[in-house]
Amino acid sequence: MALEPLLSLLRRHRKIALDSSIFIYQLDGNPRYVPLTTPVFLALESPAHTAVTSTITWTEILVPAYRTSEQKRIAEYLGLLSTYPRLEWIAPDLVIADLAARLRARHDMRTPDALQAATAIQSAATLFITNDRVFRKISGFESLLLDDLL
């Protein structure tokens, strides 16, 4: 596992965008990815970093817990996600929605991915951390796929 390239990227980028999968790996304790997601979330505890994500992330994270009616898990997620330091949850407005439509049309992206990318661009994030190759098509930020570090 190549941790140093991740740490180097985090040093170069002060504002990062996080895809839903990054939260899911961390919250579920995914053994394959937690060694990479933990440093990302630790970086957000430093005043040198901020992160953004679309509110669609909230939806994607909570669906499995709502499906199984795991009230304790839902409460834990809501408590943690709503108070995480230096993380801004951005709801799509008309500017983001329009940019997402353009990205979706140009790059044949799914709507949730286009909204994530548009949120990152509109927020001036310079690094997008994900595990989805579709984000490599976007020129508005540098993309990091966790699988590339394994």
Domains and their CATH numbers in the chain: 3-149 (3.40.50.1010)
Nearest 5°: the CA angle 38, 39, 44 is: 100
- The pLDDT of residue 80: 84
Regarding pTM above 0.85, the answer is yes
Q: Where are the alpha helices (DSSP H) in the chain?
A: 3-12, 20-28, 34-43, 55-67, 71-83, 94-107, 111-122
Q: Look up residue 141 and give its DSSP letter.
A: S
Q: 102: how many CB neighbours lie within 10 A of its CB?
A: 12
Residue 17: which of 39, 59, 45, 50 has the closest Cα?
50
Tens digit of each residue's pLDDT, the chain (150 residues)? 678 999 999 999 999 999 999 999 999 999 999 999 999 999 998 899 999 999 999 999 999 999 999 999 999 889 888 888 899 999 999 999 999 999 999 999 999 999 999 999 999 999 999 999 999 999 999 999 999 999
Bridge partners of 128, per DSSP, are 17, 143
129's enclosing H/E stretch is: strand 127-130
